[in-house]
Structure formats: C-alpha cells, structure tokens
Amino acid sequence: MTGDTGTRDVLAIMELLLTAEIFNRNEELDINDLHPRCREFFGAGSGGSREVKRPLIVSEGAIKKVLGTPDAVYQAVRANPFVGYDEFGQRLNLPSLDTAAGWFLKKGGEERVGENPVLAYFFDGKDGVAARYRDVRAKNRRFEDTREYVEAKVSRIIGESEEMREARDLIIISAPDEVEFTLAKLVCTPRQEETIKKIGVALEHRDFLKRHGIYEFGRLLFVGPPGTGKTSLALAMSRTLHMPVLEVRLAMVTSQYLGETSKNIDRIFDLAKKLSPCILFIDEFDFVAKTRVSDDHGAMKRAVNMLLKNIDQISFVKNGVLLIGATNHPRILDEAAWRRFDEVVEFPLPDREMRQAILEKVAATIECDCDFADLAARTEGFSGSDLRMMMKEAVMSALMEDRHRVDPVDIEQGLLRAEERNVIRTGR
C-alpha cells in the first residue's frame, strides 16, 4: 500500500473507533450526529428507525467487509498502543480516548472532524481545532431527509389503512435527499426568495404561531407560464426545509369511477397530515377551474368542492402541511379558488439579467466559450426551461464531435433547436 492511501485508510478506521467511543459515552448524541458513512458502517437507521442502539461496535469483520480494508492497514491500526482488542468478540476499542484523539489530529484528521458531528462534539473548543459542533451538525445530512426514513414512515401509515394505500398510489413521494433541485441551482426573484425565507421562519416558530392562533399561513399559489420554475422551486423547498414532497396531478386523481374521486382527494390530504411535516404540491391547479366551468357531471363538481374544502381545512401551523398549488393559467381560476390561498407567488418569464444568471448557473461546471450577456440579450421571451434545454443541446453538439468544450458554434446550434421547439409549440 502507498503511504497516502495507507494513512487515509488508517484514519477512516480511527474515525469509526473515535465515533463509537464518543457516541457511547454521550447519551445526548443521536442519529443526526452520525456522519452518513458512520451510519452505514454501524447500521444506524436500518428499517427507518431513528433509534441508535448503544454500544456502537467496531469489529474486525465489519472493517474488512464494509470498508474493504486491506489486512496490512487493519494490522497497522491494531499495532497502535492506544488501540485495544477484544479477542473474544474480535472487536477494536480505545482504552485511552484522549491519546487516540491527539494522534488522530496529528495524522491529519482535522478535516474529518469538520465533517463528523460526533468528533466535533468532542473536539469543540480544544486548542488548534477550528470546527464547532453546532456548525458541523447543522450541515450534516439529516437522517429524516433520506429515502429510507420517509419510506419507512409511509409504510407504517399505509400498513394501518387500505384507504391510505390507495392514496399512496395516486401521488409521487420524494424524500428531500432525492430531490435534484436545490436553491443554489435556481435563480429566484426577490419575491420568491422572501416567500422561502418566510416559510422557514414559520417552520422554526410553529409553536409560537399556534399559541397565538395564527393559522392562516402556508397555502401558496404559484402562477406563471410553463417552464418558469414553479415545480423546480417546490421541489427545492423540500431540500431547504427538510420536508418530503408529495406531488399530485389532479387529472390523475379523477377516477373512472367518479364517485371515488372525492374519496381520493380526502385520502391524499389525510396522508399528507399523517406524513407531516411535508409539502403537498398540487400541479395543474387550473384543472379545478376547467371542471367547475365546463363539466356538468355532478360527481366531478362534488369532487372539486371537496378539494376546496380540504384546502380550507389544511394549515401549515396546525397540521405541518405546506400546500403549494401551481397553475399556468391563473386567469381562469375563479374567486372560490383564489381565496383559498394565503399567498400568490408570481413566476414571470426571466428578464435579461435573470436569463444571464440562469445561463451562468447552467454552464457553471461546463468548459464553455460563450458571451452570456450577449446570449441573454438574444433570448428574450425564453423561459428558464428553454434556456436549460438550449444549453443541453449545445453540450450535445460538442459531444457529437467528441469535444468537452462548448464553442460558439455549439451555442448557435442549441439556440436554433430551442427556437425550432418554440415554433412547433406555439405554431408561430
């Protein structure tokens, strides 16, 4: 083994030993203090449970199986005088925690301290260590954000009720960790940024709002043309607020047996309340208006009224459900639909400054020879989705010629493809 690789592998094992020792000694530490790589090694969170069974154990078998550690590295760890070994259980331990911790820092372990809340808890305030426990824990990936946790919670809910199982089949549930979009990847208007901040503050102070009876909060209507980021922002809020998102398309909820539609709507809202805190995202909300105006079927109209009734009764403060409706056609929504929402958030087509910012973000990791200011000026009327598609086509143009650098000719190709697509879509 090479020196760098060997040191890195030894530090990986020592991190596990230190984590186990510190975690076992401090009952106040929980699953969100464990770095994801430590959760995996110790099997914490298996089955979706937040409970971590103490003591955490570092066995010879697990080191070789989970880490795939070469025997030479394992023996190098065992050779350290501060590492103990239980022959009966074939387990490693640290009889002298302080000595092991000092060695860990000297060998370059400080970077791992800055990533691992358990280690930061122990080292916080010690000379020469910059990491602070509170900061390290805040940026650690939360267990509640994982697919495993959310699926386990959903399974418990639907296992108790046939109606909840039926509701589950009508929606798409995404854990925060699964969501591709982050706020850092989006370009938001000041109004959108203000809304996100306000929701975060309300989430933090839900108990205060509840005590003072301030319940009319957390029902948002996103309005704007297609491709302006309504769905992207709703998903990104899932990651920012650490809440799973339940996506509903109303056209899919309407059953061929119309009498079931009202029940389906009820079930979806009930599932959201049981899964809270969460985001309930209802796309294509204009379906409600179309139905109220054009559909003569009494069962469908009852279903729409049931939807509006459920919106009336949902509350972010009371139920922990953030409701987001989205529509491309706000003008066809009637007053009955509008007044159900506490806030209306506009998603306009991006102006020149926003278009340039979007292009720069999309191309941030791409080697690109492009005048973004000029391109922003040439793409008036483009949505954010149009701009992303244009850059994707430019990248594909370069790859077709076995290049990883995007040149101006590729940009022109992407622009042409985007314009062709818009002509087909609009007929103009």
**Sequence spans of domains, the chain:** 3-141, 145-346, 352-426
Q: What is the CATH number of domain 352-426?
A: 1.10.8.60
The predicted structure's pLDDT at residue 3: 47
Q: How many C-beta atoms lie closer than 10 Å to residue 172's C-beta?
A: 11
| pLDDT number for residue 384 | 94
Q: Which residues pair with 322 in a beta bridge?
A: 279
Helices 190-204 & 230-241 angle (0-180, nearest 10): 30
Q: State the angle between helix axes of 3-25 and 97-106 in degrees (0 to 180), rounded to the nearest 10.
A: 150
373-381 contacts at long range (C-beta below 8 A, 24 or more positions apart): 375/411, 375/415, 376/352, 377/352, 378/415, 379/355, 379/415, 379/418, 380/352, 380/355, 381/349
Cα 48 to Cα 57, 147, 258: the distances in Å are 20, 9, 36
Closest to 365 (Cα-Cα) out of 191, 184, 235: 184
Task: State the pLDDT at residue 316.
Answer: 94
Give the Cβ contact number of residue 372 at 10 Å.
17
**What is the Cα 428 distance to its own chain's centre?**
38
Query: Which residues share a beta bridge with 91?
Result: 59, 86
Among 372, 377, 368, 381, which residue's Cα sits nearest to residue 418?
Answer: 381
Confidence (pLDDT) at 232:
94
Strands 91-93 and 219-223: unpaired
Q: Let me know: does 198 contact 318? Beta carbons within 8 Å.
A: no
Tokens found for residue 303 = 């279903």
What does the alpha-carbon distance between residue 225 and residue 222 come to, in Å, rounded to a whole number?
A: 10
DSSP notation for 260-299:
GHHHHHHHHHHHHHHH-SEEEEEE-THHHHHHHHH---HH
Q: How high is the pLDDT of residue 1? A: 41
Per run of 10 residues, the mean pLDDT along the chain (length 428 residues) is 64 95 97 96 90 93 83 85 86 93 93 96 92 96 95 91 88 94 91 92 92 90 94 94 91 65 88 95 78 59 83 92 92 81 93 95 90 93 94 94 92 90 70
Closest CA to 308 of 289, 295, 331: 289
Nearest CA-CA partner of 53 in 85, 83, 20: 20
DSSP string of 114-182, one letter each residue: TT-HHHHHHHTT-TT----HHHHHHHSPPGGGSHHHHHHHHHHHHHT-HHHHHHHTTSEEE-GGG----
Q: How far apart are the first and last CA of the chain?
A: 65
Query: Superfamily for 145-346?
Result: P-loop containing nucleotide triphosphate hydrolases (3.40.50.300)
* Sheet bearing 343-346, strands edge to edge: 172-174, 245-249, 278-283, 321-327, 219-223, 343-346
Structural contact between residues 225 and 336, judged by C-beta atoms closer than 8 angstroms: no
CA–CA separation, 43 vs 65, rounded Å?
13
What's 330's DSSP letter?
A: G
pLDDT at 256: 53
Query: Looking at residue 261, what is its pLDDT?
Result: 78
Q: Give the pLDDT confidence score for residue 288 in this predicted structure.
A: 67
Give the pLDDT confidence score for residue 2 in this predicted structure.
Answer: 43
SS3 assignment, position 217 = coil
